[in-house]
Amino acid sequence: MTDRHLKETRIDGYTAFSGKLLEVRVDRVDLPDGQETRREYVAHPGAVMVIAQMDNGKLIFERQFRYPLDRVFLELPAGKIDRGEDILDCARRELREETGYQARVWAYVGVIHPCIGYSNERIEIFLARGLEHVGHALDDGEFLEVVELSLDQALDAVRAGSITDGKTLAGLLWAEKIFRGGWVLPDIK
Amino acid sequence: MTDRHLKETRIDGYTAFSGKLLEVRVDRVDLPDGQETRREYVAHPGAVMVIAQMDNGKLIFERQFRYPLDRVFLELPAGKIDRGEDILDCARRELREETGYQARVWAYVGVIHPCIGYSNERIEIFLARGLEHVGHALDDGEFLEVVELSLDQALDAVRAGSITDGKTLAGLLWAEKIFRGGWVLPDIK
């Protein structure tokens, strides 16, 4: 399907803000009807998220303070991809650093785009099983708690409004389909 | 539960970028261990998303070009809250403007936070039923196509990687639970 009637085309642009974490780009673009407009968005290196299932069936969550919203969130483990880092290596590293677990069996789940209106971030989702606890290695300045929940407990938390993190809801949709809906994923060899 | 061991406290801050769409704030904060760090985030007015179900059971989706990722996304109808606007009024307005539908029956679903690492955005989700097509009223410079999909078609699209928008996956988790999982929502009177 050609999407010429929807597509916007870059004319030029510049980096309007370059911080420690965020980079904001401002581009001039041509709209499908030939009008010109301005698009502002965050340039992001991408991230991974891990659905980590213990042998007893429970999933690994984190409780972490998120400054922009000034409160603690219950969320699946996730973290930014380092420059040049392989996404599976990143998933292994984040799971280990944040939760202290290593996994024997990995599968690739899929990708989500959390914020398509104003960020180019993608989140690559992995499923990790065969977990073994080998100990934390949090980054300096990183504070979080590890929590184990069954899928039903997590879904109850969504219903009750205790899980509202978008990437985590997306991960739970995938998790339910994988664990109960017959969505089979090949293990990574 | 007290979260003092996780909480970060603002010292001061400034607006580092103020564009047409985005505002970026940079704050100095105290970490739980007393160290100081810097937090950068997008200040966002909030948004609504509508799970709009037709009398035949199908859901209303949009195909829309999203500039930050340079491609068309299949997504549930959504839009930003105007300053001072009631969230249900916003949901009615966005559904009408973007898809041309009005709904007789509305229910409040819940809130998600799409981008907790670097944005304070919240998305308020509504369920709309009793739809009547009354005609489009797109904003100037807004281009999109309206698509009807059954819940199963939408879930197949997630599995196939054709729906990757995070808010839409979160909405589909809610939709499946509401339509098939017994999560009952009271209608808004």
Query: What pLDDT, on the 0 to 100 scale, is given for residue B39?
Result: 97
Chain A residues 35-94 within an 8 A CB cutoff of chain B: 35, 37-42, 63-69, 72-73, 75
- Whether chain B has a CB inside 8 Å of the CB on A162: the answer is no
- Would you call B40 and A32 a contact, using CB atoms and an 8 Å cutoff? no
Separation in Å, CA A124 to CA A91, A108, A112, A137, B127: 9, 8, 7, 22, 29
Which residues on adjacent β-strands are paired with residue B126?
Answer: B50, B108
From first to last of its 189 residues, chain A has per-residue pLDDT tens of 578 899 999 999 999 999 998 999 999 999 999 999 999 999 999 999 999 999 999 999 999 999 999 999 999 999 999 999 999 999 999 999 999 999 999 999 999 999 999 999 999 999 999 999 998 777 777 789 999 999 999 999 999 999 999 999 999 999 999 999 999 999 998
Q: Which helix (H) or strand (E) holds A12?
A: strand A9-18
Give the ipTM of the model, two decimals please: 0.96
Query: What pLDDT, on the 0 to 100 scale, is given for residue A1?
Result: 57
Rounded CA separation A77/A64 (Å): 10
Interval B105-134 mean pLDDT: 98
CB-nearest to B24 from A24, A73, A112 is A24
pTM value is 0.96
Distance from CA of A187 to the nearest CA of B (A): 16
Query: What pLDDT, on the 0 to 100 scale, is given for residue A142?
Result: 78
Which residues on adjacent β-strands are paired with residue A53?
Answer: A59
Q: Which residues contact A46 (CB under 8 A, 6 or more apart)?
A: A80, A81, A87, A121, A122, A123, A124
Rounded CA separation A117/B167 (Å): 11
- Would you call A22 and B3 a contact, using CB atoms and an 8 Å cutoff? no
Find chain A residues with C-beta within 8 A of B125's C-beta. none
pLDDT tens figures, B14-67: 999 999 989 999 999 999 999 999 999 999 999 999 999 999 999 999 999 999
Closest CA to B87 of B122, B52, B115, B62: B122
pLDDT tens figures, B103-112: 999 999 999 9
Which residues on adjacent β-strands are paired with residue B40?
Answer: B26
Query: What pLDDT, on the 0 to 100 scale, is given for residue B187?
Result: 93
CB-nearest to A166 from B32, B67, B166 is B166
Chain A residues 92-151 within an 8 A CB cutoff of chain B: 110-123, 141, 143-145
Query: Residue B61: exposed, middle, or buried by beta-carbon count in 10 A (0-12, 13-18, 19+)?
Result: buried
β-bridge pairing A123-133 and A47-52: parallel
CB-nearest to A39 from B24, B27, B67 is B67
Query: What pLDDT, on the 0 to 100 scale, is given for residue B139?
Result: 72
Distance from CA of B55 to the nearest CA of A (A): 25
